[in-house]
A and B are shown apart, each in its own frame.
Chain A
Amino acid sequence: MRVGSPRARRQWPARLRGGIGAAAVTLLVVPAALAQDAADWLQRAATAARQLNYVGTIVYQHAGRIETSRLYHVADSYGESEKLSNLDGPAREIVRNGEQVRCYYPDAKVIRVEPRSMHNAFPSLLPQQLATLATYYQFRKAEIARIAGLETQAYVFEPKDGARYGHKLWADIGTGLLLKARLLNERNEPIEQFAFSDIQIGVRLDREATKPPFATVPPDWQVRESAAADIAPKETGWVVRDMPPGFNKVVEGFRTLRGKPAQVAHIVYSDGLVAISVFVEPTPATPQPVGLSQQGGINVYSRQLDDYLVTVLGEAPGATVRQIAYSVGRRQ
């Protein structure tokens, strides 16, 4: 894998005060081979995450908080299954079998069933997304670091404009599995991080390891099912007029969501590395808060638009989701 152009050594755009000219310059040349490197590498990480057996402890940091969880991932002839149990705070357990995710909340005695469709994500990086990735991020190989006892190679996706965050990812050299992922803001400060503090890869694990806490649901527990996972692709009648450059529409349609009586319009955009979702629903009966909020590295911006509530969210800066929220309108 090659090490990037000399441009890779330049400072982050945010540090170039008055960086408009600088950002324009960095866009002039995009080595195609480098883009391919980035894509190959992402693909390898995605494949490793799906196809390997591994068990480890994940440390999740965001907004000054630290949460530790135990993860078991089993890939066998039946497919994938995994279990994530948090080790601090109120007990939570997430069990995924194929496309279905069940979240257990023992204190509330609630099970939430979340369908999860995987087919929209990697490794189906389209050529157009690949080009976008290379145009809006500088991909470079960074240092070799030891994480959870394993040698990793760090990679950086450095944004070339202010519309997106930076990503630093550490992959196990032997297997390609991602052992650490960090989201960086425009000042190159970490805002969210996932990291294994210990991990065993390629170990023998059977499905017992990813079994839910009980086989049959106790009578005093509630099961909250969620509607179909997929969007029925369709024009929603809503458009985003001022999308930051590089975000292309991935899917558009309506979906049914738990707790929402009406169908919700959902449009997804992606720049190849992150996605931004636009949701439009009729104004709910109970007033909803508007403005900006965060959940980990995800920024969420809600606003009222006539009789609708517009919510935009994604792993992107607050100004980006806000700009999008304010440019949502009716298709003419």
Chain B
Amino acid sequence: MGNFKTGFGAESSGPTAPTSEEISLLIDGELEPVRADAVVTSLCRAEGLATWVCYHVIGDAVRGVASRGLDSKRFVELFAAEPTVLAPRRSPAPHAIALALAATVAAVSVVGWVALTTMPTPVAAIASARQAVGVRAADARPAVDNEYVLVHQEYSPTNAIQGIGPYLRAVAASEPDARR
């Protein structure tokens, strides 16, 4: 029982070593705060930072901006000065780093995670990220597949105590779907 995991993907390297995916989740604002602290702390170490900077450089490249030669010390200062990166959902005005990295993540989600988590050479990563941006699939939040949501709801225990209420989710979102 004591050996309980709060974070994910920390199988072998201990609870504080972040995976590349977790770093990207942090960039994307999707990492749970409990885990975010640990990841941010570990970013001060070389390996984590290298991943972060790599993603950042890719983001710059994707947007056609020359790399700004961000070094680790400067990065840590920037990060320390900008706590909103940890909670982008609450504050939709992230600063340049967050924007650059969001672009990267958007590209990455199209390319597929494996390509980046295996840390390819920067050139290859940049090329594939550029290509991905041409697709622009991650430009907007994708539409949720209503069929999936509807059949899922049959199995959600909380829905049983809320009666038909959760169908409101589907109703609220099903306008374009109804015309399909």
- The interface of chain A, by Cβ under 8 A from chain B, is 13-14, 16-20, 23-24, 27-28, 42, 45-46, 49-50, 58, 60, 62, 65, 67, 69, 71, 73, 82, 84, 86, 90, 92, 94, 96, 101, 103, 105, 108, 110, 112, 114, 116-118, 120-123, 125, 129, 161-163, 167, 169, 178, 181, 186-187, 194, 229, 242, 244-245, 250-251, 255, 257-260, 266, 268, 270, 272-275, 277, 279, 287-298, 300, 302-304, 311, 313-315, 317-320, 322-323, 326
What's the minimum C-beta distance from A5 to chain B, rounded to whole angstroms? 16
What's the minimum C-beta distance from B43 to chain A, rounded to whole angstroms? 15
Chain A residues positioned under 8 Å from B4 (CB to CB): 23-24, 27, 161, 245
Chain B residues positioned under 8 Å from A326 (CB to CB): 21, 113
Residue in B9, B38, B174 whose CB lies within 8 Å of A18: B38
Residue in B6, B141, B147 whose CB lies within 8 Å of A161: B6
Residue in A17, A112, A302 whose CB lies within 8 Å of B142: A302
Among the interface residues A24, A108, A298, A303, which one has the most CB atoms of the partner chain B within 10 A? A298
Question: Is the pair B30, A94 in contact by a Cβ cutoff of 8 Å?
Answer: no
Encoded as 1 (CB less than 8 Å from any A CB) or 0, chain B from 146 to 170 comes to 0111111011111111111111111
Q: For the complex, what is the distance from the CA of A244 to the CA of B32, rounded to whole Å? A: 13
- Other contacts beyond A20-B6, A49-B163: 10, CB < 8 A: A13-B6, A60-B168, A112-B174, A161-B6, A186-B33, A242-B9, A245-B4, A295-B170, A300-B144, A304-B112
- The interface of chain B, by Cβ under 8 A from chain A, is 1-9, 15, 21, 25, 28, 30-35, 37-38, 87, 106, 109-110, 112-113, 137-138, 141-145, 147-152, 154-175, 178-180
Q: For the complex, what is the distance from the CA of A194 to the CA of B15, rounded to whole Å? A: 36
Question: Is the pair B172, A60 in contact by a Cβ cutoff of 8 Å?
Answer: yes
Among the interface residues A274, A313, A319, which one has the most CB atoms of the partner chain B within 10 A? A319
In this complex, what residue of A is CB-closest to B35? A162
Question: Is the pair A120, B142 in contact by a Cβ cutoff of 8 Å?
Answer: no
In this complex, what residue of B is CB-closest to A47? B161
Question: Is the pair A162, B160 in contact by a Cβ cutoff of 8 Å?
Answer: no
Q: Which 5 A-B pairs have the closest CB atoms?
A: A289-B142, A121-B160, A162-B32, A122-B160, A296-B169
13 A-B pairs within 8 Å (CB atoms) are namely: A17-B37, A20-B15, A24-B3, A101-B164, A125-B157, A163-B6, A186-B33, A258-B147, A290-B110, A295-B149, A300-B145, A315-B156, A322-B30
What's the minimum C-beta distance from B136 to chain A, rounded to whole angstroms? 10
In the complex, number of A-B residue pairs with CB atoms less than 8 Å apart: 256
Chain A residues positioned under 8 Å from B9 (CB to CB): 242, 323
Chain A residues positioned under 8 Å from B15 (CB to CB): 20
Chain B residues positioned under 8 Å from A187 (CB to CB): 33, 87
Among the interface residues A242, A273, A275, which one has the most CB atoms of the partner chain B within 10 A? A275
Q: For the complex, what is the distance from the CA of A318 to the CA of B168, rounded to whole Å? A: 21
Chain B residues positioned under 8 Å from A298 (CB to CB): 144, 149, 152, 169
Q: A20-B34, A28-B2, A290-B137 are in contact. Are A257 and B156 (CB under 8 A)?
A: no
Question: Is the pair A289, B160 in contact by a Cβ cutoff of 8 Å?
Answer: no
Chain A residues positioned under 8 Å from B33 (CB to CB): 14, 162, 186-187
What's the minimum C-beta distance from B84 to chain A, rounded to whole angstroms? 14
What's the minimum C-beta distance from B98 to chain A, rounded to whole angstroms? 16
Question: Is the pair A73, B149 in contact by a Cβ cutoff of 8 Å?
Answer: no
Question: Is the pair B155, A270 in contact by a Cβ cutoff of 8 Å?
Answer: yes
